[in-house]
């Protein structure tokens, strides 16, 4: 659908693909961002937009000569990875539980880390510049090494899926783990301290920004790019292990070349050209969707997911949603639903069915079909997937 220009009396226009009225808190958060003097042209809200910290999750913010670390968020480079395999659904029959158990034994989830470090992890080029990162993380190199190739918790997941053409897909969702979190927290703290020293009047302290050309900006930009690379490679390491599990169970151990592979961030910032100018684009819960970009838009653990290709819509800064978006908070979901509800809503899916993942129950998320319908001018659907195995962090 075409974007709606929201009548919010903000300094810069706010364009929305959400096709619904924002609540009072969401409205104020959008206005806060649009009031900042360095925001470029307009703020774009994706179809899955919901409350965040400082800025809305599902927002795209283009800025000139400044960047807001809290808008990027604490899971720098969080994103999705998916590959299309040569296998068909009938090859999975009777093997789903074994596959899930092996995934859980091979890829650490939650707070767990790897006991043994893969050779590929040691060879990652990012370790050469670790000593150039913020001094507040210098003691974390060993932990960062052990967490490379681990999933994390919250809404991170690993899934075996089947598309409408009966192809088996492997898909996962993860970010930059503790090292990205610690980098972000250190820089957010610095940005807030600098704003206080300068006596800046901000609508929200979480909108404290670094100004281009300053040492603080340069250090953040360096660390941001490092953490984004870490997150992307982290997904590659997990996908490599995941792929070997399927090759063993479905292909007799014979390696295969993916028919299509996608690896995309949805919490990150990059320097890009829009409307003829170079700007910094922060996608907080949004995926880049140029005409050359493939992306992944997952639903909940009981709903469809989509492999998409961008349409290059410039009003959205060539972006699309990063998922269904939460309908209710984790706390509210735990108080609203029961374990029986979870079991019912994940019927037919090989996954954990315990109170530990009740906050990830499908009904806590927006209907993915509506989210997709509201952004058909941003992406085209390449494949529609449903999960048959889901491992949660």
In the annotated binding site, the residues are 75, 155-159, 173, 266-267, 298-301, 305, 322-325, 392
CA angle at residue 310 from 15 to 385, to 5 degrees? 110
Two tokens, residue 319 = 């972006």
d(CA 209, CA 111): 30
d(CA 165, CA 32): 45
Q: Tell me the H-state helices in the chain.
A: 24-34, 69-72, 96-106, 119-122, 141-147, 177-197, 215-251, 330-336, 339-345, 368-373
For the chain, the farthest-separated pair of C-alpha atoms sits apart, in whole angstroms, at 65
Q: Sheet with 277-284: list strands edge to edge.
A: 4-5, 14-16, 39-50, 57-63, 277-284, 267-274
Annotated binding site for GMP: 155-159, 266-267, 298-301, 305, 322-325, 392
Q: Which residues are catalytic?
A: 322
Two tokens, residue 229 = 């690379």
CA distances from 348 to 285, 334, 352, 386 (A): 29, 22, 12, 11
| DSSP label of 365 | B
Q: Check: CB of residue 321 under 8 Å from CB of residue 287.
A: yes
Query: First-to-last CA distance in the chain?
Result: 34
CA distances from 182 to 67, 211, 349 (A): 18, 21, 35
318 in the Ramachandran plot: left (φ > 0), alpha (ψ -120 to 50) or beta? left
184-204 as b/e: b if 16+ CB within 10 A: bbbbbebbbebbeeeeeebeb
Annotated binding site for Mn(2+): 75, 156, 173, 266
């Amino acid at each position: 659908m075409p974007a709606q220009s929201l009548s919010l009396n903000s300094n810069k226009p706010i364009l929305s693909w959400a096709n619904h009225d924002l609540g009072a808190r969401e409205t104020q958060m959008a206005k806060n961002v649009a009031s900042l003097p360095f925001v470029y042209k307009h703020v774009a809200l994706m179809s899955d937009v919901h409350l965040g910290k400082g800025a809305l999750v599902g927002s795209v913010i283009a800025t000139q000569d400044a960047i807001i670390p809290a808008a990027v968020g604490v899971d720098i480079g969080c994103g999705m990875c998916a590959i299309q395999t040569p296998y068909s659904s009938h090859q999975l029959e009777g093997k789903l539980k074994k596959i899930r158990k092996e995934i859980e034994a091979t890829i650490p989830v939650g707070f767990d880390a790897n006991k043994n470090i893969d050779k590929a992890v040691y060879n990652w080029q990012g370790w050469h510049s670790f000593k150039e990162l913020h001094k507040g993380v210098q003691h974390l190199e060993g932990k960062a090494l052990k967490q490379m190739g681990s999933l994390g918790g919250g809404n991170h997941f690993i899934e075996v899926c089947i598309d409408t053409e009966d192809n088996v897909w492997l898909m996962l969702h993860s970010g930059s783990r503790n090292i990205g979190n610690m980098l972000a927290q250190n820089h957010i703290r610095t940005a807030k301290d600098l704003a206080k020293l300068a006596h800046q009047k901000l609508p929200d302290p979480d909108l404290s920004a670094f100004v281009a050309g300053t040492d603080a900006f340069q250090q953040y930009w360096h660390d941001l790019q490092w953490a984004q690379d870490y997150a992307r490679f982290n997904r590659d390491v997990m996908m490599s292990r995941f792929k070997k599990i399927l090759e063993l169970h479905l292909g007799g151990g014979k390696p295969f070349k993916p028919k299509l592979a996608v690896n995309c961030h949805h919490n990150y910032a990059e320097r890009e050209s829009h409307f003829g100018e170079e700007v910094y684009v922060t996608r907080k819960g949004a995926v880049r969707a140029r005409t050359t970009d493939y992306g992944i838009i997952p639903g909940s653990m009981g709903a469809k997911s989509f492999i998409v290709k961008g349409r290059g819509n410039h009003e959205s800064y060539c972006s699309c949603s990063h998922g269904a978006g939460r309908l209710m908070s984790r706390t509210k979901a735990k108080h609203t639903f029961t374990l029986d509800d979870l079991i019912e809503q994940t019927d037919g899916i090989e996954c954990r069915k315990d109170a530990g993942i009740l906050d990830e129950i499908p009904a806590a998320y927006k209907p993915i079909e509506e989210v997709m319908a509201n952004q058909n001018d941003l992406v085209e659907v390449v494949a529609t997937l449903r999960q048959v195995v889901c491992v949660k962090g």
